Amino acid sequence: MAMCGIIGVMDRKRRTMDGSGIRQALSMMNERGSGEGAGYVAYGVYPDYRDCYALHVFFDNIRENKIIVDAALEQWGTIEHDEAIPTYDQPNLRSVHTPWRYFFKPDPSLAPASTSPEDDIVSALVMRINTARRGALIFSSGKNVGVFKAGGWPEDVADFYRIEDYEGYTWLAHNRYPTNTPGWWGGAHPFNLLGWSVVHNGEITSYGTNRRYIESLGYICTMYTDTEVVAYLIDLLVRRHDLDLDLAVRALAPPFWEEIDRMPEAKQEWNRALRLTYAPAMMNGPFAIVAADADTMVGFTDRSKLRPMVVGECADRLYISSEEAAIRAMEPKVESITMPAAGEPVIGRVAP
């Protein structure tokens, strides 16, 4: 039952972990996957380029496709450095894309009307390059963060990137069991846009409504799977609309109307307002989601709790996963294990 395996870990003091622990934790949940997609995201992996947007790109063909991305980036800013993401052939992983990374500084003077010109330039470039479908897909675009994903089992994907060579203070990981669309590299989780990354177990049955809403606001879905829309919804609500994270989660997974009816009047009022304002952002269907940015990690499930979620704590570390065993694989001495209530966000923040 309840396929796809997810796990997230955050160190509130920003002490880094290499990727070997989360690799092992994710492989504990191989029963939840089907070998068609796995991935990892780590925050804090590019300290030498912390001021640059780290763009991870899948190229179909370096010679033909890279020139297009180079030209687009140079038009909007400066490429401080770019290189192939080091990879190591895995016998069970069909290598169909070449992962590349750019460290990019957008030129804010080119978007004078924007209050966040750099983010807006990068987000527009991601949308433009991905929709052009010219053999280049930007799947990771934040500062000091990197997504490492591919089509395959968690261990093979981890070894393809030698995930243990990366050090991050927050990690998310996902073991995929695609059900509604074929597995492919771009459809593996995590999904990322700028600072936020998302892993998800379940299916967003409101995808059509959510997608129409988000596409009317300038996002374009290109990955053939529902979770992409969650990454864009979080970017819209948290970055662009500046909602508090717990309010954003409440907009995505609001209480049932009958629960709202039983609330005290003042609480009723804002819950109604939020639910009505963000009706097309509300997500239906079974889901357990863990999302993170540079300072935060949040986990939440659908309001009927149709997918599992377990939370572990150990000193400065917060864990959120589909299974307790995965947490214990990473942290045998875990101090507390709890199950959050349906629809209630579990939020961890790094110390300022």
Partner 1 sequence: MAKQVAIDGNGVHYTPLNQQIRKAVADGADEIVISNVLGQRFIGDGLRGNITIHIHGVPGGDLAIFMSGPTIIVHGNAEHAPGNTMDAGKVVIHGNAGDAVAHSMRGGKVFVRGDIGYRGGIHMKQYEDRCPILVIGGTAQAYLGEYMAGGLLLVLGLHGPIKTREIGSGIHGGEIIIRGDVDDACLATGATKVPLTDEDRARIAPVIREFAGDFGLDPEPLINVEYTRIIPASARPFVGKYTWE
User: Would you say 124 or 337 has its CB closer to partner 1?
Assistant: 337
Q: Torsion angle of alpha carbons 141, 145, 231, 101, nearest 10°?
A: 30
State the binding string over 266-285 for partner 1 (x if CB under 8 A, else -).
--------------------
Query: For residues 22 and 171, is the Cβ–Cβ distance under 8 A?
Result: yes
Q: Under rule CB under 8 A, which residues in 231-260 are in contact with partner 1?
A: 259
The single residue among 223, 281, 326, 346 that binds partner 1, judged by CB under 8 A, is 326
Q: 310-316 — which CB contacts under 8 Å span 24+ positions?
A: 310/337, 310/338, 310/339, 311/337, 311/338, 311/339, 311/340, 311/346, 312/336, 312/337, 316/11, 316/12, 316/13, 316/15
DSSP type of residue 254:
P
Query: For residues 176 and 36, is the Cβ–Cβ distance under 8 A?
Result: yes
The single residue among 84, 217, 273, 339 that binds partner 1, judged by CB under 8 A, is 339
Our finding on whether 314 is near partner 1 (CB under 8 A) is no
CB of 325 to partner 1, least distance (A): 3
CB of 156 to partner 1, least distance (A): 17
DSSP type of residue 52:
S
Q: In the block, which residue shows the tokens 């393809």?
A: 160
Rounded CA separation 173/329 (Å): 14
User: Would you say 114 or 304 has its CB closer to partner 1?
Assistant: 304
Our finding on whether 313 is near partner 1 (CB under 8 A) is no
CB of 85 to partner 1, least distance (A): 31
User: Would you say 36 or 324 has its CB closer to partner 1?
Assistant: 324
Name the packing angle between helices 265-277 and 245-252 (round to 10°). Answer: 70
Query: For residues 237 and 278, is the Cβ–Cβ distance under 8 A?
Result: yes
The single residue among 10, 28, 221, 320 that binds partner 1, judged by CB under 8 A, is 28
Query: For residues 36 and 151, is the Cβ–Cβ distance under 8 A?
Result: yes
State the binding string over 143-172 for partner 1 (x if CB under 8 A, else -).
------------------------------
Token duo for residue 293: 């940015």
User: Would you say 138 or 326 has its CB closer to partner 1?
Assistant: 326
CB of 344 to partner 1, least distance (A): 11
Name the packing angle between helices 227-234 and 207-215 (round to 10°). Answer: 40
Our finding on whether 7 is near partner 1 (CB under 8 A) is no
Percent helix / strand / coil, the chain, rounded to 5: 35, 30, 40
Is there a catalytic annotation at residue 4?
yes
Catalytic site residue from 4, 52, 221, 314 = 4
CA 167 to chain centre: 18
Query: Which stretch, 53-61, 68-76, 82-90, 303-311, contacts partner 1 (CB under 8 A)?
Result: 303-311
The single residue among 54, 121, 310, 318 that binds partner 1, judged by CB under 8 A, is 310
The single residue among 72, 124, 314, 342 that binds partner 1, judged by CB under 8 A, is 342
Q: Which residues form the interface with partner 1 (CB under 8 A)? A: 1-2, 28-29, 31, 259, 262, 304-305, 308, 310, 323-326, 328-329, 337, 339, 341-342
Residue numbers annotated as active site? 4
